[in-house]
Amino acid sequence: MALFAEFKAGLLKTRARLTHEIKRIVSRSPRLEGEALEELEGALLGADLGMEITEQIITAVRSAYETQGQNGKDVAAIAAAEIERGLVAREQGLRQAPAGLTVVSLVGVNGTGKTTTAAKLAHLVQSQGRRALLAACDTFRAAAIEQIKLWGQRLEVEVIAGAYGADAAAVAHDAVAAGQARAMDYLFVDTAGRLHTKHNLMQELQKVHRVMDKQLSGAPHEVLLVLDATTGLNALNQAREFNKAVSLTGLVVTKLDGTSKGGMVVAIQKELGLPVKFVGLGEQPEDLQPFDPKQYAEALFGE
Amino acid sequence: MFDSISSRLQNAFRNLRGLGRISEENVGDALREVRLALLEADVNFKVARDFIERVKNESIGQGVVQSIQPGQQMIKIIHDEMVKLLGSANAGLQLSGNPSCVLMVGLHGSGKTTSSAKLARLLHKQGRTPLLVAADAYRPAAMEQLETLGKQLDIPAYVSRGETDLLKIASGAMALARETNRNTLIFDTAGRLQIDEPLVQELVRLRDRTKPQEILLVLDAATGQEAVNVATHFDQALNITGSILTKLDGDARGGAALSLKAVTGKPIKFAGVGEKLEDFEPFHPERMASRILGMGDVVSLVERAAEAVDVEQAQRLEEKMRKGQFTLDDFLQQLRQMKKIGSLETILGLLPGGAEAIKGADLAKQEREFRHTEGIICAMTAQERHSPQILNARRRQRIAKGSGVSVTEVNTVLNRFAQMQQMMKKMGKFQKMLARMGGGAAGLLRP
């Protein structure tokens, strides 16, 4: 029986290949090979999509091209569509608590732009006519508190801060309490950068979140991993570990104004189902944009 | 998805044995594996292609030594080739002038400010008198950050708030250096994109004004394919003299190092390996090559162990073990020493293939067991620790209550400890190694 099943499966594969080949010949689609493929592979690898995703996309593109290639579609366009399909998310924009204060926590490794993103997000909700509060929970890095306070001044957003070396969870607790007392709409919590491999620091982050949940059930409502677009395949590790520790709800990709493509988000969305919510495109407060999968996929292939 | 390259190469090369010579055809499969390994380590795909070509040329025609595995031989060729490419004789800083200037340049968030402070600390230790110069007028509070770090190190920092003209900052800093007899200026510049022409030109003007001996590109070890563009642009514009690779304490494989070195040819001089200011060391090409190839980093593990373990204490423990006098107190000490080296996760991650092994393993559970064991021993009286045979049922119940575990757990720990003691008495030679590695504690782990 087993042998027969195997035989049948083998036949099925052959039949599929044959049908595909016949379709190709009938529709006079060109075969995709050689230089075009290599170019496509280069573009995908060069955008940090990683070998695995690159191969998947190439396989998909190859069969799509060979069945509909004569319709004038070029390889890049098909690949872009393929990537776009993988990136479309059900959920867009910031989540909102059913009532009252919405807490958004920003997490990530060092130097990805958490503080800047927190400030930009505050600016964004403010421009929509809602009231925002910032929490300076990076009590470790030198001058991190000053940095967010300066942003606060610039944007006229209040910043809740503690002293250096203070317990980040205590600051978070106070910030949530303040946000509730002042009937704010949004609280953006800027946490300290930490490498996802540092077990104790990840536990500290869990504590920060636990404490906020105690103060306000359900907080943080949104946990955004801030990713630097220049990061390579390690971004997937970062996302995995942060997700394991604090259950992420989405991604923010920063520094996309350079030539980096941040292609790892494709792999992250595929594996963890985390949507990209915003992209950072510069140093100004308004340089934060909602993520547009179509635009992004097209940009991957444009120079 | 990625088991260690060593084992994959072994497989790919199995068919090489008995062939006599490595030829273009039979090496093809294996080189594909190497390419994959390089790409997974974030080596730029073009750099990877060139590297493979080099390895191919190097290996073709070499005889397959019958006695060793052909895979091993090939790995050695690859590893050596990579070390050759990564390394350089000219790794130290060339600081001859007085004052001499060092420019730190790079993308946003790569770690320039922290590296500036770390470098200042290192130079200070080498007997130079560094002056930190806050030349980042863009990022809010960047100057305060450098100033704070300077204070922590007791190294002066030149900060002129509100000044956005880099050249004025440079003149001011150089004047201060002359006045206060500081012979090395470290300029912490603002992060910028390599394609932001006006900002890059600003750096060019700063370079022309300060005539620095060293221009160091600071690059995050987790940088992906972009490393090539970043390095090329900065090098073309500024003619950098070397680079610093940061955040190497993470688990990024660091292929960016290879890309960087391949396109600029400039040496990688230092590595940032932690958030503390002393976590800064000269760059080691061999370790980096092993890391990129996913071969683990045993050297770092040994170093870390050496740092955490008190040699005298270890010797005393060893002595006790040999004489069969190893008590629960000693065991507790050992547990704590192990903890100092790092979490199980980090330790295993440094072992070859370890990173693979721990994927999916529930290390948190093992860590918890460690903690429980520690708690159980702490709940014992000094007498009990010294002679566990007096532990009767009532004492055990008390200990269980005191440490918040079940009596069964107390029994398990005691049983394992007894087994361990037995083992120690038996194994004469092994003891030494166990004591050094803190492996006595590891022996308690369930398989």
The answer to the question of residue B92 being in a domain is: no
Residue B56's CATH number: 1.20.120.140
Final residue belonging to a domain, choices B54, B86, B118 = B86
3-state SS, residue B126:
coil
CA B40/CA B35 separation, integer angstroms:
9
Of B140, B195, B251, the CB nearest to A151: B140
- For the entire predicted model, the pTM comes to 0.79
Q: State residue B444's pLDDT score.
A: 44
According to the model, what pLDDT value does residue A7 have? Answer: 60
Q: Does residue B445 form part of some domain?
A: no
Residue with structure tokens 């809602």?
Answer: A130
A-chain residues within 8 Å CB-CB of B253? 233-234
Query: Are B245 and B290 part of one and the same domain?
Result: yes
Mean pLDDT of B166-180: 93
- Asked whether residue B205 falls in the same domain as residue B248, the answer is yes
CA B171, CA B185: separation in Å to the nearest integer?
11
Cα(B129)–Cα(B281) distance, rounded to whole angstroms? 19
- Does B344 or B132 have the greater pLDDT score? B132
What ipTM was predicted for this assembly?
Answer: 0.84
Report the share of chain A in percent with pLDDT over 70.
86
What DSSP designation does B161 have? Answer: T
* Beta carbons of B247 and A154 less than 8 Å apart: no
The DSSP annotation for B63-85 comes to: BPPSSS-HHHHHHHHHHHHHHHH
Helix/strand/coil (H/E/C) assignment for every residue in B313-379: HHHHHHHHHHHCCCCHHHHHHHHHHHHHHCCHHHHHHHCCCHHHHCCCCCHHHHHHHHHHHHHHHHC
Residues B260, B325 within the same domain = no
- If asked whether residues B61 and B145 sit together in one domain, one would say no
Distance CA(A52)–CA(A30), nearest Å, equals 25
Greater pLDDT, B79 or B217: B217
Whether residue B176 sits in one domain with residue B141: yes
pLDDT at B338: 74
User: Looking at residue B442, what is its pLDDT?
Assistant: 45
Closest residue in chain B to residue A244, using alpha carbons only = B360
Asked if residue B272 belongs to a domain, the reply is yes
pLDDT of residue B19: 59
Nearest-neighbour CA in chain A from B443: distance (Å): 22
- Residue B1: per-residue pLDDT: 29
Residue B325, domain CATH: 1.10.260.30
Q: What is the pLDDT of residues B74-125, one digit of tens each?
A: 777 888 888 988 986 557 888 877 789 999 999 999 999 999 999 999 999 9
Would you give the distance in Å from CA B268 to the centre of its chain? 14
**How far from chain centre, in Å, is Cα B408?**
40
- Distance of CA A75 to CAs A25, A31, A61, Å? 18, 11, 7
Cα B178 from chain centre: 37
Q: CB distance A109–B148 less than 8 Å?
A: no
On average, the pLDDT of chain B sits at 82
In this structure, the number of other CB atoms found within 10 A of the CB of residue B428 comes to 9
Of the residues B30, B51, B86, which one is the last residue of a structural domain?
B86
Interface test with B, best of A38, A110, A159 (most B CBs within 10 A): A110
B323 assigned to some structural domain: yes
Clarify whether residues B41 and B82 are in a common domain. Answer: yes
What HEC string does chain A produce?
CHHHHHHHHHHHHHHHHHHHHHHHHHCCCCCCCHHHHHHHHHHHHHCCCHHHHHHHHHHHHHHHHHHHHHHCCCHHHHHHHHHHHHHCCCCCCCCCCCCCCEEEEEECCCCCCHHHHHHHHHHHHHHCCCCEEEEEECCCCCCHHHHHHHHHHHHCCEEEECCCCCCHHHHHHHHHHHHHHCCCCEEEEEECCCCCCCHHHHHHHHHHHHHHHHHCCCCCCEEEEEEECCECCHHHHHHHHHHHHHCCCEEEEECCCCCCCCCHHHHHHHHHCCCEEEEECCCCCCCEEECCHHHHHHHHHCC
Q: Which residue has the tokens 């190709």?
A: A24
**Residue B43 in this model has a pLDDT that exceeds 70:** yes
Please judge whether A232 and B256 are an interchain contact, meaning their C-beta atoms are less than 8 angstroms apart: yes
User: What is the DSSP code (8-state) at residue B190?
Assistant: P
Q: Which among A44, A37, A15 has a CA at the least distance from the CA of A300?
A: A44
- Chain B nearest-CA distance from A83, in A, is 18
CA distances to A204, B87, B405 from B361, in Å: 22, 36, 23
At A29 the pLDDT is: 60
pLDDT: is B299 or B168 the higher one?
B168
Kindly state whether residues B282 and B311 are assigned to the same domain: no
Q: What CA–CA distance (Å, rounded) separates A248 from B210? A: 46
CA-nearest residue to A256 within chain B is B193
Q: Are residues B29 and B105 in the same domain?
A: no
Are the beta carbons of A232 and B224 separated by less than 8 Å?
yes
Q: For chain A, which ranges sit under pLDDT 50?
A: 1
Q: Are residues B120 and B79 in the same domain?
A: no
Question: Is residue B301 in a domain?
Answer: no
Whether residue B32 sits in one domain with residue B105: no
How many domains in chain B? 3
* B444: in domain: no
Q: In this structure, is residue B197 part of a structural domain? A: yes
**Class of residue B63 by CB neighbours under 10 A (exposed 0-12, middle 13-18, buried 19+):** exposed
**Cβ distance of B251 and A110 shorter than 8 Å:** no
Calpha distance A267→A56 (Å, rounded): 11
Residue range of the domain that includes B162: 100-295
Residue B302 lies in a domain: no
Between A87 and B351, the more confident residue is A87
Structure tokens at A200: 């104790």
Please tell me the least confidently modeled range out of B92-101, B357-366, B377-386, B409-418.
B357-366
- DSSP 3-state of B293: coil
The Cβ of residue B67 has, within 10 Å, a number of other Cβ atoms equal to 5
Same domain, B45 and B137: no
Among residues B62, B86, B110, which one ends one of the domains? B86
* B70 and B116 together in one domain: no
